[in-house]
Structure 1
């Protein structure tokens, strides 16, 4: 039996759900409550509370309280530090300066391309959408075989911002090689590896330091929160510079 893992929520009545929500919202107090305390808090009868206890699989209220307390403590232990994903130490000391420099490049660019694969590709879409909302011509590329060199052949003043946790993805490196000596395209990167090829290929590298996590060898579960953090800071700085430029 598990209260928080109860699977038949759809079978609970409105009265049952009122009791369930009250218990969830007062999980620290429930182990010390009586039946009538829960009934009063959920605005139901004592008998409704007992019917609920039986319905979710417990034979008595004391059995429920002991089980609930143990389950709640287990959850608290498993949730410890779950939101402490990043701190300021995850970024280099000059990250704000580099953000300002990259934003300045984006400010006058004719095309802003966010380039990434997998999870980084999803963030690239987010970044390009936000940049477009700010009034800049931006699009995302998630496919390393996308004909980007052909699309930008007759353009100038382009900025490509590559997103890559490892900074070592071969397919991305092959695409970026087409722009290394381009006078019309400036490259920057957001990566978790300052020494990586992708970081070294661009003019600027916005870097962060976070442990890389993989499962089953190929699946990357490394947090993308630092990347999103940098993206939001970059877009905010871009917006601020745009506003400052338009001021008389």
Structure 2
């Protein structure tokens, strides 16, 4: 959806975020809804919806809804085949410093666990393999029922890297919530929402911005390229520290 590119998340209030999350999760309905209906469903007000729409660059609700309707990849369920590109605006300004700090901590860790489900799980497998090649004791966890707390019971200096586009995946939140109580545990969240529940639990957040694509309501075609870029960059810094 093209309106995602107009958003500066740092300027959004809690009410704005509620509206944003409703719009992004119900993109198939929005082109046919009134302002009042969006306000009711997002538990906000009509005036708040209109302020949000103007904040992201539209002069009227009609202009916003017209552009929403024009996005065939969402309304008709057809995925855009245009190749996604990376831009500096998708990442925080202090990204390099943050990656350096996390990479140095990885070097000191006895265990590095990447945790993700679905498409994020495949990313975890890939990055865990890269870290293992570099000599890190890293592995991917893609099963939310895996007894991770028991496995790490008698260990120290552990890092868990939960990967979730929304930062709101229930299974991931439950696991991470339990791990935050463990001693010598560092949580590094990788997500597209810096204000998500997952981000709030983490010691460090590697956040990015990406358009979310879903077809048939549940099938996720959101690009993992920004996420992979962050994690590959992290492993490259680890490699440079290991030399």
TM-score normalised by structure 1 residue count = 0.64
Structure 1 residue ranges, 4+ long, deviating more than 3 angstroms after superposition: none
Q: Is the CA contact (8 Å cut-off) linking 2:192 and 2:210 kept in structure 1?
A: yes
Count residues in correspondence: 166
- State the distance in 2 between where 1:214 and 1:85 align: 19
Which position in structure 1 is the counterpart of 2:13?
Answer: none
- Given the superposition, is the C-alpha separation of residues 113 and 215 from structure 1 closer, same or farther in structure 2, using an over 3 Å criterion? same
CA distance in 2, matches of 1:154, 1:101: 25
**What does 1:147-226 correspond to in 2, within 5 Å?**
147-226=147-226
Aligned to 1:88: 88
In the TM superposition, residue 242 of structure 1 has moved relative to its aligned partner by 2.0
What TM-score comes out, normalization by structure 2 length?
0.65
Structure 2, unmatched stretches of 5+, are 1-79
Q: Corresponding residue for 1:56?
A: none
Structure 1 pair 214–81 and aligned structure 2 pair: CA distance change class (3 A): closer
Deviation at 1:240, TM superposition (A): 1.1
Cα RMSD (Å)? 1.8
Question: Which has the greater radius of gyration?
Answer: 1
Which secondary structure state, in structure 1, belongs to the residue aligned with residue 175 of structure 2? helix
Residues 142-162 of structure 1, C-alpha deviations (whole Å, 9 max, x = no match): 011111111111111100011
CA shift, 1:81, in A, is 8.4
2:103 counterpart of 1:110: no
CA contact (8 A) 2:194 2:207 kept: yes
Q: What's the CA shift string for 1:73-119, capped at 9, x where partnerless?
A: xxxxxxx9823432121111111111111111101100010110000
